[in-house]
Structure 1
Amino acid sequence: MTARPAARSSARSARLATLLLMGVTAVWGSTFFLIRDLVVHVPSADFLAVRFAIAAVVMFAVFRRQTLALSRADLLTGIGLGVLYGAAQLLQTTGLEHTDASVSGFVTGTYVVLTPVFGALIFRDRIAPSTWVAVGLATAGLAVLSLRGLAVGYGEALTLASAALYALHIIGLGRFSRAHTATGLATVQAFVIALMCSVAAVPDGLTLPSDGGQWASLLYMALVAGAVALWAQTWAQSHLPATRAAIVMTLEPVFAAFFAVLAGGERLTARMLGGGALVLTAMYVVELLGRRTPETTAEQDPPAELLHHEV
């Protein structure tokens, strides 16, 4: 008699997690034209260091109790996840200096393919056929949105490495984050990312924004696209399989195109409409058709030692 209410509660949590993750991708998408303008004046590593330092300090002030309550194992998990994300950010940023932004966007988005592949290879996850269809549709949508020719070189190699790290981060969150540890894990990750980016920024000196508009952009990206988004992603992935989360996150370039047209002065094109339609179709496949043939993955079963927390 208790199984049905528990199943309904789990389904509601998954729907809320999906909506929250969609909101995160919308926020990320809104930052593209802001970052493009800001890094003209502030080097990428400096921007990342200041952004995540502010996010970390604010998150610790808000979530101090939850962060200090983390177990040693949770703390090590947060550090490991932060290293993955910080390294991915730095590799992606460096790669962007050596390749076109459109190519970088596509290659970074290949985490949608790498996530189920790594899950199957590392953890023996079994992925439903409908999910593989969604992965293919999302990848095609990214290609239509982003690619105008692709030559593989140094920048593309660095960006592909960052995509692999993003995929591992998504898998790690899906397996090790829990609703009751999400705030603490997110805070630890923010500190680790800030430290890594600060180390990368130090050799050339730290450059700060020079006017109010630049600081406003940076604070938005630190507080909303940094602190809130990192917490929301960590919490959402405690309720979603990694591959499903990766497919939801391919909405980011769709939102980026939307905001580029709405606020960045770009023109709406057939490529934007076609690529966006493919990504949204992928969302339909994984969210609706996937319910009829649910995924069976190892990540859906929490370790035995954690079961006493799930009351």
Structure 2
Amino acid sequence: MTSPRATGLATIGLLAVTAVWGSTFVLIKDVVGRMSVVDFLAVRFAIAAVVMLVLFARPVLRLGWPQLVRGLGLGVLYGFAQWLQTEGLSLTSPSVSGFVTGMYVVFTPLLAWALLGQRMPAVTWVAVALATIGLAVLALHGFEVDLGVWLTLASAALYGLHIIGLSRWSRPGEAFGMSAVQMVGIATVSLCSTLPHGPSLPPDNAAWIAVLYMALVAGAGAMLVQTWAQAHLPATRAAIVMTTEPVFAAGFAVVLGYDALTLRMAIGGLMVLAAMYLVELMPRRKGEPSAETLHHEV
């Protein structure tokens, strides 16, 4: 039984992690303007993988071969999702990228229905329609959608696949080990994408600070806090907290001068956010199963 104090601390911790994730959209946008996407991802995830292997060496060694293979496979999938998301962010605004990335919450039950035959609540179809209209408001320029939006949408679909795989293969007590192994898979994909020359290092001190922040604070550190927090929170409360990530992303983008707050952004973003809440909260209220919400950032 979790105490109210632990629940409150876990909520604050998870909210802080979500704010950190939201801040990364602006940071990544700045860094990939000065170094290539593949180099940025390779350096970031190589550092994060080394740190997590050092921290979680024992949990990794306790994993059996099937779990090691599954963890690496999920990491590879996640690595491709990260690449698509970051390439997309280099071509679109941080606020739009944040809201489009949040579509993984809508994609997850759709993919579970299509691939696993899981029953999908009727409200999910309403959420899909609402999210589609919201994305159109956010991203359409006439009758065209930027390539960055399409790439980010594809990454959201891969994040949905990752959530489904993790929900089927993760086991109690293996979270730290599986997280570290997945990070190795992500780093492998990122490093391979820089071949044959290998990754180039960040060009200046500011880029190094951003990469280290992404690797250590938004990566390894955030995963530690998230894992602890979600052990003390009901899934519904965690879902509510984590769906604020696009709001933080847009907020940082506006405050730091990367985007201007427009009526179009507000309306489109609210529609996408409403769709995310519908998918996560309505099935639970009715006693129906809902896709487990796990975050895409590592």
1:53 aligned partner: 46
Partner of 2:113: 120
Contact 1:126-1:297 at 8 Å conserved across structures: no
Aligned to 1:199: 192
Matching residue of 1:28? 21
Percent of residue pairs identical: 59
Contact kept in structure 2, 1:98 and 1:154, CA below 8 Å: yes
Partner of 2:85: 92
Give TM-score, length-normalised by structure 1.
Answer: 0.74
Secondary structure of 1:201's counterpart equals coil
Q: For 1:182 and 1:25, locate their aligned partners in 2 and report how far apart those are by CA, in whole Å.
A: 19
1:223 corresponds, among 216, 219, 241, to 216
TM-score by length of 2: 0.77
Q: Hey, what does 2:180 align to over in structure 1? A: 187
Report the Cα distance in structure 1 between the residues aligned to 2:202 and 2:235, rounded to whole angstroms.
Answer: 36
**Equivalent AA in structure 2 for residue 32 of structure 1:** F
Instruction: Give how far 1:206 is off.
Output: 2.3
Q: Deviations over 1:100-154 (max 9, x none)?
A: 7777666544433321111012222223334444454455444444444553687
Partner of 1:72: 65
1:196-218 deviation per Cα after TM superposition (whole angstroms, max 9, x unaligned): 11111133542212332221111
Structure 1: 5+ residue runs without aligned partners?
1-7, 300-311
Q: Which of 196, 204, 208 is the matching residue for 1:211?
A: 204
Select which of 73, 76, 91 maps to 1:83. Answer: 76
Whether the 8 Å CA contact 1:142–1:253 is kept in 2: the answer is: no
Q: 1:236 to 1:122 in 2, by over 3 A?
A: farther
User: Per the alignment, do residues 94 and 215 of structure 1 end up closer, same or farther by CA in structure 2, a change over 3 Å counting?
Assistant: closer
For the 8 Å contact 1:186–1:234, the answer to whether it is kept is no
> For residue 166 of structure 2, what is the amino acid of its counterpart?
L
Greater shift in the superposed pair: 241-250 or 28-37: 241-250
Question: What is the count of residue pairs matched by the alignment?
Answer: 290
CA drift of 1:19 comes to 7.2
Q: Assess if the C-alpha contact under 8 Å between 1:130 and 1:286 holds in 2.
A: yes
Residue of structure 2 equivalent to 1:260: 253
Do 2:105 and 2:279's aligned partners in 1 also have CA atoms closer than 8 Å?
Answer: no
Q: CA separation of 1:283/1:236 partners in 2, compared to 1, >3 Å: closer, same or farther? A: farther
Gaps of 5+ in 2: 293-298
C-alpha change, 1:101 and 1:264, in structure 2 (3 Å) is closer
Three-state SS of the structure 2 residue aligned to 1:122 is helix
Judge conservation of contact 2:44–2:211 (CA < 8 Å) in 1: yes
Deviates more, 1:142-151 or 1:200-209: 142-151
- Name the counterpart of 2:144: 151
- SS state of the match for residue 295, structure 1? coil
